[in-house]
């Protein structure tokens, strides 16, 4: 079964400069928790305990976050501030964290390929931490996808409908509807212009991938933007009928944009932070 989750986290986060000049974008806080922690919490809630993080230069803070900070913890020991670290401590105790660096920025497909040694020959999940997904009262998005994997045993991408004029920001799929929330993918394109998009069903940052994807990525030429795209490698699986696209239940915030980041912040403040105080 699926045990591991890959977090590509090597990107520069240029849209958030200067905030991301000396700090990884995955460490940007949504209220009191960094983005990456929301992603790890979602993976853990989906039953995954092995977190494989693709980092790069200047990303040390990610490793430090999922580690003990002796001085700080000693300082707050026995005070009512201790509980603020509970959520992180839980993850540190329950999960393993492995890191490898993407030495050159050659695209999301390439970043995933860098995780091959950490993942090995087993199906795995991928979480792009700047897509923050919530589903209050229901299963987390990744858990929904893992349950689908149990049934179908093939790669799965999460999708949502987006306005036509926004297709250029996403991988976009086309396929045969096999259930009201599920498509068998026949076509997928990375960041098409609205007039060239095969639909308005956009891939968001949650994937289940079967391990044959690594060789397919290795054989994939650079595509859109001169980068090795996971969408192009997945298209090769799709030709064999081996990719599903799932309209997930829940809400997704694009925390890679200032607007989505602010929306996520307001949402998490009301839904989580206030209730925890």
Question: Which of 140/171 has CB closer to ligand G1P?
Answer: 171
User: Which of the stretches 57-65, 81-89, 196-204, 213-221 binds ligand G1P when contact is defined by CB under 6 A?
Assistant: 196-204
As a dihedral over the C-alpha atoms of residue 99, residue 4, residue 229, residue 65, rounded to 10 degrees, the angle is -40
As a dihedral over the C-alpha atoms of residue 26, residue 75, residue 95, residue 66, rounded to 10 degrees, the angle is 20
The total of other beta-carbon atoms located within 10 Å of residue 100's CB is 17
185 neighbors 243 (Cβ within 8 angstroms)? yes
Under the binding rule (CB under 6 A), the answer on residue 173 touching ligand G1P is no
The 3-state DSSP class for residue 272 equals helix
Nearest approach, Cβ of residue 197 and ligand G1P (Å): 12
Under the binding rule (CB under 6 A), the answer on residue 123 touching ligand G1P is no
Under the binding rule (CB under 6 A), the answer on residue 209 touching ligand G1P is no
As a dihedral over the C-alpha atoms of residue 33, residue 266, residue 20, residue 232, rounded to 10 degrees, the angle is 90
Under the binding rule (CB under 6 A), the answer on residue 156 touching ligand G1P is no
As a dihedral over the C-alpha atoms of residue 190, residue 220, residue 53, residue 146, rounded to 10 degrees, the angle is 70
Could you give the CA distance from residue 92 to residue 66 in angstroms, rounded to a whole number? 6
Under the binding rule (CB under 6 A), the answer on residue 131 touching ligand G1P is yes
Give the relative orientation of helices 35-45 and 141-152 as an angle to the nearest 10 degrees.
Answer: 40
Under the binding rule (CB under 6 A), the answer on residue 26 touching ligand G1P is no
- The conformational region for residue 107 under phi > 0 = left, psi -120 to 50 = alpha, else beta, is left
Nearest approach, Cβ of residue 57 and ligand G1P (Å): 18
Under the binding rule (CB under 6 A), the answer on residue 204 touching ligand G1P is yes
Q: Which residue is nearest to ligand G1P (CB)?
A: 171
Residues contacting ligand G1P: total by CB under 6 A = 13
135 neighbors 250 (Cβ within 8 angstroms)? yes
Pick from 146, 156, 203, 208 the residue near ligand G1P by CB under 6 A.
203
Pick from 10, 113, 128, 145 the residue near ligand G1P by CB under 6 A.
128
Under the binding rule (CB under 6 A), the answer on residue 108 touching ligand G1P is yes
Nearest approach, Cβ of residue 109 and ligand G1P (Å): 8
Residue ranges in 231-260 that form contacts with ligand G1P under rule CB under 6 A: 231, 256
Q: Which residues bind ligand G1P (CB under 6 A)?
A: 108, 128, 131, 170-171, 190, 202-205, 229, 231, 256
């Amino acid at each position: 079964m699926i045990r591991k989750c890959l977090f590509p986290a090597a990107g520069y986060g240029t849209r958030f400069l200067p905030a991301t000049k000396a700090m990884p974008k995955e460490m940007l806080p949504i209220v009191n928790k960094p983005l990456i922690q929301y992603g790890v919490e979602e993976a853990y809630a989906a039953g995954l305990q092995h977190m494989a993080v693709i980092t790069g230069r200047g990303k040390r803070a990610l490793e430090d976050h999922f580690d003990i900070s002796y001085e700080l913890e000693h300082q707050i020991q026995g005070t009512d501030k201790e509980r603020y670290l509970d959520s992180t401590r839980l993850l540190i105790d329950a999960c393993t964290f492995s890191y490898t660096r993407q030495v050159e920025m050659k695209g999301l497909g390439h970043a995933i390929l860098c995780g091959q040694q950490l993942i090995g020959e087993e199906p795995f999940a991928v979480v792009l931490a700047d897509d923050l997904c919530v589903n209050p009262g229901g299963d987390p998005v990744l858990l929904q996808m893992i349950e689908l994997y149990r049934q179908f045993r093939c790669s799965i991408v999460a999708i949502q409908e987006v306005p036509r004029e926004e297709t250029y920001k996403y991988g976009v799929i086309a396929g045969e509807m096999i259930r009201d929330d599920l498509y068998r993918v026949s076509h997928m394109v990375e960041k098409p212009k609205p007039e060239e998009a095969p639909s308005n069903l956009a891939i968001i940052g949650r994937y289940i991938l079967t391990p044959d994807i690594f060789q397919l990525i290795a054989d994939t030429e650079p595509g859109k933007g001169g980068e090795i795209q996971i969408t192009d490698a997945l298209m090769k699986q799709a030709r064999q009928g081996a990719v599903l696209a799932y309209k997930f239940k829940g809400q997704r915030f694009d925390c890679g944009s200032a607007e989505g980041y602010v929306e996520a912040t307001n949402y998490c403040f009301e839904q989580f932070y206030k209730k925890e105080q």
